[in-house]
Amino acid sequence: MKTLYVNKKSEASMLKHAFEAAGFRCLRMKTFCDCRDQGNIRAGVIILDGDKVLLEIRRCKACFRRHNPNLCTGGVGQ
């Protein structure tokens, strides 16, 4: 299973809609991220391919930055 971190809720929604349009089932859920501080419960979406989880999307700015260190977000986010 692959885990994808996104910065914004709108990005998670966009991906969810894209996968739904492609015929996958998508479920919103609460998930956890790699941040060690308390309260690392994140909004997530899982993408199902039949009965297998294809991809898990988690929304966390800190994890997004950690997993995409070279990505320039153009000053997005606060």
SS3 call for 65: helix
Is residue 63 a contact point for Zn ion (CB under 5 A)? yes
Total Cβ atoms within 10 A of residue 74? 6
Whether the CB-CB separation of 15 and 24 falls below 8 Å is answered with no
Our finding on whether 26 is near Zn ion (CB under 5 A) is no
Is residue 47 close enough to count as binding Zn ion by CB under 5 A?
no
Which secondary structure element, helix H or strand E, spans residue 63, and what is its range? helix 61-67
Q: Is 60 in the site for Zn ion (CB under 5 A)?
A: yes
Within 10 Å of residue 72's Cβ, how many Cβ atoms?
A: 7
Per CB under 5 A, which region of 13-21, 27-35, 44-52, 68-76 contacts Zn ion? 27-35
Least Å from the CB of residue 20 to Zn ion: 25
Residues in contact with Zn ion, counted by CB under 5 A, come to a total of 5
Question: For Zn ion, which residue of 15, 35, 54, 55 counts as binding (CB under 5 A)?
Answer: 35
